[in-house]
Amino acid sequence: MNESYLTDGGSGFRSWLLTRDHKRIAILYLISISVFFMFGGAAASMMRAELATPKADLVTSEVYNRLFTLHGVIMVWFFLIPSIVTVLGNFLLPLMIGAKDLAFPRLNLASWYIFVLGGLLALYAILLGGVDTGWTFYTPYSSTYSNSYVILMAVGIFIAGFSSIFTGLNFIVTTHKMRAPGLYWFRLPLFVWALYSTSVILVLATPVLAITLALVALERLMGVGVFDPKLGGDPLLFQHLFWFYSHPAVYIMILPGFGVISEIIPCFARKPIFGYHFIAFASIAIAVLGFVVWGHHMFVSSQSLYAGVVFSFLSFMVAVPSAIKVFNWTATLYKGRIELATPMLYALGFIGLFTIGGLTGLFLATLAVDVHLHDTYFVIAHFHYIMVGGMVMAYIGGMHFWWPKITGRMYPEIWGQLSALIIFTGFNLTFFPQFILGYMGMPRRYHAYPEQFQFLNVLSSAGASILGIGYLLPICYLSWSLIKGKRAPRNPWNATGLEWTLADSPPTVHNFDEIPVVDCEPYRYDLPEMASAKGDIT
């Protein structure tokens, strides 16, 4: 038997830092984004602590403004956008399509170095004194007025963007050129479809962000009038450019989550996924439509009324493919053999929270209602339901699902189920009150607020502490399992997919002993031998 990728080729620092193995690079990403997640989470905890009382008593407004900027920048660019794509995507894409590695292994390693360099610059900007513009960098505040390290932060994000572009290119080429014999497009796991759609967005949208940040730097450093009206520029131009990237970026974050859920649900419902083609095409439809809805962030920005009407309509249209996915997942459960293992609990939690996030998106797409809700806590609650309730639930669910494959160890099931329940409860307690706060009119980015909002804010802060414990749990018991966990068999869930049926746990360096040949559709959970999620035992 060959050695696993974890030990083959040495285990010193050098063997890891110079590796070209997609699986080891995935681990490098896992460690780095976990560190960033801690930073972003710490900032969030301090904000929730400050908001427990109406007065500004814990931090000053200067500090608070830096905290929410730190939280937004780190969580969006250095956790959410890379998370599933670079960790699970990197690890699983070659395994799922029966390849030895990604198409460009060296580029893959370079992407990680670029990502870390960008991240370190962003952290350096924070250490020097932080940035107080918010993660949205609205001009002319960011370009002319802010007295903080805007340029350094922008350079960090600019650099990290190239990591996104290279990863996207790598995944697109890999999906096109490296599929195993017989693995036609409609035999691909839906996770691959989701990664593919995500990669297309990464490649097309990220350059626009780079251009935008470069223009902000140009105006800030040299006074070239692009956005500041005093220099003859147009502040709304920035918003158009920024959201042209940042709205598709929302789908960069959530689409891979859809992919993970589409793998977990059929496995623990023991049924082929319902509406395979519809889910696959819904990913593509979301990727395409996601590019033409950016203006719904600007209904009250003084853009033209009729632009608002068009963007509102398109935003409703992009909700349709998301609804299709939710209905198909639910239909997959019907007449299945459902096991509520940890990944399944996370997946069901995902469906619930993502549905609430999606439906409240309709409120915000509705013009007259958005005029009231824009820039209030309703928006905060909405996108946290999508990003945290949706994306992070999918990420942690996926980490549990593939943990045996990645590490060769089983996690403790009871602790896993407990963490899923705590996170679900804590999340709702944190963010549901914020919907009500938003409709009451509490604006976002306020460190002090009128007393009438206190009760709901206290609920939210209490929920945040539960949520914090919920996130610490998996970090503890997953680390524990690395040493003490039971050895994982090749296919602990009796799942379909090449990574389970043909690759060891953990896989060997080249993944497969021989090139796999695929001769059937994915998700054949309807075969008699697939009736149970009890896997083989080593």
Partner 1 sequence: MNLGQLPLFPVSASDHATQVDYLFLALMAVSAGIVLLLTVLILFSVMRYHAGSAADRTPPRINTRKLEVTWTVLPLIIFTGIFAWGTSLFLDREKPGEAPMEVYVIGRQWMWEIRYPDGRHEHNRLHVALGQPVRLIMTSEDVIHSFFVPALRVKQDVVPGRYVTLSFTPNRCGEYPIYCAQYCGTAHAEMVGVLDVLAPVDYASWLSAGVAPDSLAAQGRALFAEKGCAGCHTPGAAVHAPRLEGLFGKQVALADGRFVTADAQYIHDCILLPHRNVPAGYDPIMPSYQGQLRETEVIALVEYVKSLRPPAADMRGPEVRRPDPEMKQKQPPAP
Nearest approach, Cβ of 293 to partner 1 (angstroms)?
Answer: 13
Nearest approach, Cβ of 395 to partner 1 (angstroms)?
Answer: 21
| Residue 371: CB atoms within 10 Å | 11
- Alpha carbon separation from 297 to 106, 247, 379, 386 (Å, rounded): 38, 8, 10, 16
Q: Classify residue 22 by burial, with Cβ atoms within 10 Å: 0-12, 13-18, 19+.
A: buried
User: Nearer Cβ to partner 1, position 167 or 312?
Assistant: 312
User: Nearer Cβ to partner 1, position 82 or 361?
Assistant: 361
User: Nearer Cβ to partner 1, position 134 or 259?
Assistant: 134
User: Nearer Cβ to partner 1, position 174 or 312?
Assistant: 312
Nearest approach, Cβ of 79 to partner 1 (angstroms)?
Answer: 22
Nearest approach, Cβ of 336 to partner 1 (angstroms)?
Answer: 5
Concatenating the DSSP letter of every residue in 471-534 gives HHHHHHHHHHHHHHSPBP-S-TT---SHHHHTS-SSPBTTS-SS-----S-S--TTSGGGS-S-
Question: Can you read off the two tokens belonging to residue 109?
Answer: 């390693």
Nearest approach, Cβ of 164 to partner 1 (angstroms)?
Answer: 26
Nearest approach, Cβ of 513 to partner 1 (angstroms)?
Answer: 32
Is residue 269 within 8 Å of 332, Cβ to Cβ?
A: yes
Print the SS3 string covering 282-325: HHHHHHHHHHHCHHHHCCCCCCCHHHHHHHHHHHHHHHHHHHHH
- Alpha carbon separation from 513 to 100, 187, 402, 508, 510 (Å, rounded): 10, 21, 20, 8, 7
* DSSP tag of 412: P
User: Nearer Cβ to partner 1, position 23 or 382?
Assistant: 382
Q: State the Cα–Cα distance between residues 7 and 83, nearest whole angstrom.
A: 24
| Residue 527: CB atoms within 10 Å | 10
User: Nearer Cβ to partner 1, position 55 or 487?
Assistant: 55
Nearest approach, Cβ of 170 to partner 1 (angstroms)?
Answer: 33
Token pair 């439509």 in the structure block, residue = 289
**Which residues neighbour 282 within 8 Å (Cβ) at sequence distance 6 or greater?**
321, 322, 324, 325
User: Nearer Cβ to partner 1, position 145 or 185?
Assistant: 145
Residues in a beta bridge with 4: 508
Q: State the Cα–Cα distance between residues 381 and 375, nearest whole angstrom.
A: 11
- Alpha carbon separation from 121 to 40, 69, 114, 156 (Å, rounded): 15, 15, 11, 5
Nearest approach, Cβ of 133 to partner 1 (angstroms)?
Answer: 8
Nearest approach, Cβ of 76 to partner 1 (angstroms)?
Answer: 16
User: Nearer Cβ to partner 1, position 18 or 309?
Assistant: 309
User: Nearer Cβ to partner 1, position 364 or 406?
Assistant: 364
Nearest to 403 by CA among 26, 102, 8, 10: 26
User: Nearer Cβ to partner 1, position 156 or 272?
Assistant: 272
Nearest approach, Cβ of 365 to partner 1 (angstroms)?
Answer: 7
Is residue 456 within 8 Å of 429, Cβ to Cβ?
A: no
Q: State the Cα–Cα distance between residues 70 and 75, nearest whole angstrom.
A: 8
- Alpha carbon separation from 525 to 105, 278, 493, 521 (Å, rounded): 33, 19, 11, 10
Nearest approach, Cβ of 415 to partner 1 (angstroms)?
Answer: 21
Nearest approach, Cβ of 535 to partner 1 (angstroms)?
Answer: 13
User: Nearer Cβ to partner 1, position 120 or 317?
Assistant: 317
Cis, bond preceding 506 (omega within 30 deg of 0): yes
User: Nearer Cβ to partner 1, position 235 or 468?
Assistant: 235
User: Nearer Cβ to partner 1, position 35 or 338?
Assistant: 338
Nearest approach, Cβ of 219 to partner 1 (angstroms)?
Answer: 13
